[in-house]
Amino acid sequence: MTPRSLRLLVLVALVLLAVGSPAFTHDHWISKGAYRNPAGEWCCGAGDCFSISGETVTVSAAGYVLRELNEVVPYTEAQPSPDGAYWRCKRPDGTRRCFFAPPPNS
């Protein structure tokens, strides 16, 4: 492999990693959408939103139960997730700032 083809391969790999990463998705719709929570706070800043596996979320009468975080998000505090995934945005102290859930019946 020539040095030029190796550089090209590395560049392609880096682009694929950037496009496929959760941070790219976050930058793509959460920050660009200028979402706010019910208190009026912006949902995201640098690196404070992350996806949550749907397998770890259950629905109860009280709201969305995030088992891994031992947290219940009331339905009134959840926003529809345009990408169909669960997302949680946190404040610097780790408390929840925003929560996104797939729309009902999706």
Query: How do 96-101 and 78-80 pair as beta strands?
Result: parallel
Can you give the pLDDT at residue 64? 97
Can you give the pLDDT at residue 54? 94
User: What residue spans define the domains of the chain?
Assistant: 3-101
Can you give the pLDDT at residue 43? 87
pLDDT digits (tens, 9 = 90+) for 7-57: 544 444 433 334 344 444 445 678 788 888 888 988 876 578 899 999 999
User: Rounded to whole angstroms, how far apart are CA atoms 63 and 66?
Assistant: 9
pLDDT digits (tens, 9 = 90+) for 61-103: 999 999 999 999 999 999 999 889 999 999 989 999 999 999 8
For the full predicted model, state whether its pTM sits above 0.75. no
Can you give the pLDDT at residue 8? 46
User: Rounded to whole angstroms, how far apart are CA atoms 97 and 50?
Assistant: 12
Alpha carbon of residue 56 to chain centroid: 14
User: Rounded to whole angstroms, how far apart are CA atoms 7 and 4?
Assistant: 5
Q: How many CA atoms lie within 13 A of 49 on its CB side?
A: 26
